[in-house]
Amino acid sequence: MSPFPGEFSEDEGLTRADLKAKKHRRMLRRRRTTAIVVICVLVFGIGGFFGVRAAGGVFDDLFGPKGDYDGAGTSEVSVEIPPGASARSVANQLVEAGVIMNSEPFLDEVERRDITIQAGPIILREKMSSEAAVEAFVNPIKPPRITIAEGRQIDQIKAAMVESGMKAEEVDKAIDDKTPKDYGLDVDAPSLEGYLYPATYDLDKDRTAEDIVSRMVDKTKLEIEEADIDPDEVNRVMTLASLVEIESPGDEEVRKKVARVFLNRISAESKTGQLLQSDATVAYIHGARGDLTTTKEERESDSPYNTYKKKGLPPGPINSPSSGAVEAALHPTKGDWQFFVATNPDTGETKFAETFDEHKKNVEIYRKWLKEHDGGGE
């Protein structure tokens, strides 16, 4: 009978067995709810920050919004996917970043398309549909990029490539013991040093370290062709340009004078015994310091890059020179200078001299600047 006249009980008409089964189902639901609450309390109480983050995913799944955004999203946002992240942890990360509304549609789309989410940086958009977000992992909105600054050496370029997400062993394989000829540039050079063009490169998903290195060499090849450098002169020009790059400020006229100084020093009229005496080349052997200073012991090295002992230019470039440095190496200013010193490093003011006595006077100007700015030292 219904407990209230005129009302129908939902249990009315059920057999004793039906009532018992229904009661059992209610009991199981209560136990599940209690277990979830206990787990969440434990996670929040013990797990600290990481527990809260993990619990956030649980709460999103249980109590969060169940819908999905429409369309390709709004403003761009950069997201870093950690190595080894599961699809669910990525989904929760995207919810927190405001990229997607809720994890389930995203996970369904990942499963439907059977994709594997790669670690590393990716550009997404706020308020994307799950379909659009998954598509962005397959076809990135903007591929990650790597920028190689002018004057960088191979070790620095390799480090930048690894930091961008490439595997160190793949980078080593693409660069170590390789020469320009291995990448289609017919130049006699001892290594790829100087031939990895300084620029910004898109790291498309399917490109390997070898692909990126090949693009760097191709851009150098294009620069050589556009400058119309004689093939037999390429390594000499690039080597001289790398010295100009590191030994002088960016002023065009100063660089052209510095190039002339180096050429005069290795000429028949040299006043240095045809020795460049460049600290930059010695620093290249031992690992450069910020001010490019070297010790007497370092200058005793028998390396072919030690221009205090070996006449002429070193065997190859010591960095990746800029196009401006290449231009200075190709078109040096006419003059008889054989010495130079930056007398004011702040402004880049550089003084040139034809004789060593004149050069010593310029060095004193530099020392005076040092005393005024550093409290002394050379």
Q: What pLDDT was estimated at residue 20?
A: 55
Contact 145, 200 (CB under 8 A): yes
Domain spanning 48-141, CATH class: alpha beta
Q: What pLDDT was estimated at residue 292?
A: 63
Task: Work out the average pLDDT over 75-85.
Answer: 88
CA separation for the pair 171, 91 (Å, rounded): 31
Contact 229, 314 (CB under 8 A): no
Chain region(s) in the chain for CATH 3.30.1490.480: 48-141
Least reliable range by pLDDT among 115-124, 138-147, 171-180, 253-262: 138-147
Backbone φ and ψ for 106, nearest 5 degrees, come out as: -65, -45
What ranges in 164-268 are assigned the alpha helix state H? Answer: 168-175, 209-226, 234-247, 252-265
Q: Which two tokens stand for residue 306?
A: 């030690």
Burial tier of 306 (Cβ tally within 10 Å: 0-12, 13-18, 19+): buried
Question: Residue 70: is its pLDDT beyond 50?
Answer: yes
Sorting pLDDT into bands at 50, 70 and 90, what band is 291? low
Taking only the tens place, the pLDDT of each residue in 35-48 is 554 455 454 554 44
Q: What pLDDT was estimated at residue 160?
A: 93
Q: Which two tokens stand for residue 83?
A: 């190595």
Q: CA nearest 134: which of 122, 151, 150?
A: 122
Q: What pLDDT was estimated at residue 188?
A: 94
Grouping H, G, I as helix, E, B as strand and the rest as coil, residue 351 is strand
Report which listed range, 198-202, 259-263, 287-291, is most confident: 259-263
List the beta bridge partners of residue 122: 79
pTM of the model: 0.66
Q: What pLDDT was estimated at residue 296?
A: 87
Taking only the tens place, the pLDDT of each residue in 166-214 is 899 999 999 999 999 999 999 999 999 999 999 999 887 668 999 999 9
CA separation for the pair 147, 27 (Å, rounded): 62
- Stronger pLDDT, 32 or 225, i.e. the higher one: 225
List the beta bridge partners of residue 145: 202
**pLDDT mean across residues, the chain:** 84
